[in-house]
């Protein structure tokens, strides 16, 4: 504990690393920070709205709550399996995709992930702009700009500040949610709502899908926030710390959304922020709740922006042949990402935002196959035996393009299309499924099975054990691309 504390206190406020390997001398942090970060990321307004959709779109309270919980556990399990990779590899999540897709080929799913997180940042910025507009008595557009400025600052500062914000957001979120639940229970006959039970497979599966998709969406960047943990950190404990924080936070938020929508008599949709705050009261109380909503969105919006930065840097570094990104380049990337998200938020706050969110959810179909392939390879094929230095070398072990991974990924995307149900696109088999989108199930199971069977027979040579870059004694030393060290 003393060593960990000394390490943490010696770290600069501004993160020095970007997408490069984190040497053991720079590892720090505790598993509790994983729990608080992901709880804080989920105790927020968008999760409330997502849970409310289960009722708004036809489900009853009782079965919606059960369906959401099942979805949280299923999707949270996938998310937490990615989190457990961070301490072992010391790398951002999407870098590891080069094992399955090749150094250049990994850019294919990463580009789509970047687009999705850009959209999530934009939609979150709109809701936060509304809250800040009400809090400061300014227009929603000014609120959006204020929020964007905060996101730029926190994203540039990086890992340590993001975890700190996550801890604060967890505390504020718990206080706000306990208060809102108490107010909701005092104003609503919760028991009567729970007694209304009209089971429908379509509504039930919709609730499962909403929660599972919510959790799976964290997969492409969850390891970015566990990679600084010491390499000896238990994978099982990392799994439960990140997974429990995310599942508990999201389920609590979605439960509030379910009850709020069920008791709103049609007043919830289109007035989400105002309705939730209205449950708590007016005046100073309302101001504190608006602040809590905006602050809660800081965590998840920063995660989205930081994850987008990591994705873009990963794409560029793959073609440049190294993993180093300067602080100036980091600032430019963040400004471009947040600037684009802010522009989308400003243009779409009154018109096409709903359709744009459907487009972003459509993009989920493009990275569930990635998640399946990455997890099967890491846990079943290579079994953690990665050659980390080779991830930066197009001429190395993993090559430029991995035809096996790319082909199965393409199959995984295409096989989902008949089952997707969004305003942007609806597949031909959705009607037979009662209008429920089960594409995420298809996108996880089919590619996982195909990749396991194919990789068992045709996978390239796997190292005997994990190979890490040679670490130098000084904390400031950059890891060598050429040097290697075997890690048991």
DSSP 159-205: HHHHHHHHHHHHHHHHHHHHHHHHHHHHHS-HHHHHH-----HHHHH
Closest CA to 276 of 266, 265, 261: 261
How much is the mean pLDDT over the chain? 82
The pLDDT of 388-401, averaged and rounded, is 88
Residues in CB range of 436: below 8 A, 6 or more apart? 201, 202, 205, 206, 209, 421, 430
The pLDDT of 100-110, averaged and rounded, is 90
Give me the pLDDT at residue 194, please. Answer: 84
Give me the pLDDT at residue 325, please. Answer: 66
266 phi and psi angles, rounded to 5 deg? 80, 5
Categorize the per-residue pLDDT at 480 as very low, low, confident or very high, splitting at 50, 70 and 90. Answer: very low
Q: What distance lies between CA 18 and its chain's CA centroid?
A: 18
Residue 457 is encoded by which pair of tokens? Answer: 């027979």
Give me the pLDDT at residue 9, please. Answer: 46
The pLDDT of 232-257, averaged and rounded, is 94
DSSP assigned state of 229: S
Max CA pair span of the chain: 66
Instruction: Tell me how far apart the alpha carbons of residues 140 and 192 are, in angstroms, rounded to a whole number.
Output: 37
Asked if 419 and 433 count as a contact pair (C-beta separation under 8 A), the reply is: yes
CB atoms within 10 A of CB 43: 29
The pLDDT of 256-263, averaged and rounded, is 86
Model pLDDT for residues 167-203, shown as the tens digit of each residue: 887 788 888 888 888 888 888 788 888 888 888 888 8
- Architecture, CATH, for domain 2-369: Orthogonal Bundle (1.10)
Q: pTM here?
A: 0.83
Model pLDDT for residues 308-348, shown as the tens digit of each residue: 887 887 887 777 766 566 777 778 888 888 888 888 888 87
19: pLDDT strictly greater than 90:
no
Instruction: Tell me how far apart the alpha carbons of residues 384 and 382 are, in angstroms, rounded to a whole number.
Output: 6
Asked if 420 and 120 count as a contact pair (C-beta separation under 8 A), the reply is: no
Give me the pLDDT at residue 332, please. Answer: 83
136 phi and psi angles, rounded to 5 deg? -100, 0
Model pLDDT for residues 67-101, shown as the tens digit of each residue: 999 999 999 999 999 999 999 988 888 888 899 99
Instruction: Tell me how far apart the alpha carbons of residues 471 and 162 are, in angstroms, rounded to a whole number.
Output: 26
């Amino acid at each position: 504990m003393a060593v960990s504390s000394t390490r943490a206190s010696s770290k600069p406020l501004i993160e020095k690393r970007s997408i490069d390997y984190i040497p053991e001398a720079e590892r720090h942090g505790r598993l509790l920070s994983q729990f608080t970060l992901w709880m804080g990321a989920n105790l927020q307004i968008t999760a409330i709205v997502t849970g409310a959709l289960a009722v708004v779109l036809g489900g009853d309270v009782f079965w919606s709550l059960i369906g959401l919980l099942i979805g949280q556990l299923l999707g949270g399990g996938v998310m937490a399996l990615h989190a457990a990779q961070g301490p072992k590899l010391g790398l951002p999540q999407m870098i590891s995709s080069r094992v399955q897709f090749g150094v250049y080929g990994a850019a294919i799913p990463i580009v789509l992930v970047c687009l999705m997180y850009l959209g999530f940042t934009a939609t979150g910025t709109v809701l936060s702009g509304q809250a800040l507009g009400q809090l400061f008595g300014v227009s929603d557009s000014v609120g959006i700009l204020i929020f964007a400025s905060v996101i730029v600052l926190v994203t540039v500062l990086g890992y340590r500040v993001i975890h700190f914000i996550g801890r604060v957001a967890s505390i504020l979120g718990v206080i706000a949610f306990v208060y809102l639940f108490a107010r909701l229970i005092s104003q609503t006959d919760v028991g009567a709502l729970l007694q209304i039970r009209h089971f429908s497979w379509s509504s039930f599966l919709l609730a499962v899908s909403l929660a599972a998709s919510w959790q799976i969406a964290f997969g492409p960047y969850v390891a970015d926030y566990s990679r600084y943990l010491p390499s000896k950190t238990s994978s099982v404990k990392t799994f439960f710390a990140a997974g429990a924080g995310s599942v508990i936070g999201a389920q609590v938020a979605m439960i509030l959304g379910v009850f709020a929508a069920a008791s709103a008599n049609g007043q919830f949709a289109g007035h989400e922020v105002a309705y939730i705050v209205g449950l708590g009261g007016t005046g100073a109380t309302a101001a504190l709740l608006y602040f809590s909503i905006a602050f809660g969105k800081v965590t998840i919006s920063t995660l989205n922006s930081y994850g987008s930065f990591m994705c873009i840097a990963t794409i560029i570094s793959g073609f440049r042949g190294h993993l180093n990104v300067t602080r100036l380049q980091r600032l430019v990337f963040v400004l471009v990402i947040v600037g684009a998200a802010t522009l989308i938020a400003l243009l779409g706050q009154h018109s096409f935002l709903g359709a744009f969110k459907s487009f972003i959810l459509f993009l989920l179909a493009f990275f569930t196959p990635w998640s399946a392939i990455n997890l099967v390879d890491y846990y079943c094929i290579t079994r953690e035996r990665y050659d980390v230095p080779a991830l930066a070398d197009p001429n190395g072990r993993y090559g430029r393009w991995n035809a096996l991974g790319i082909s199965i990924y393409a199959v995984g995307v295409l096989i989902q299309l008949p089952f997707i149900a969004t305003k942007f696109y609806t597949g031909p088999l959705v009607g037979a499924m009662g209008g429920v989108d089960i594409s995420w199930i298809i996108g996880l199971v089919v590619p996982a099975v195909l990749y396991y069977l194919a990789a068992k027979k045709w996978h390239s040579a796997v190292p005997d054990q994990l190979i890490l870059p040679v670490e130098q004694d000084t904390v400031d030393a950059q890891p060598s691309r050429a040097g290697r060290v075997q890690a048991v």
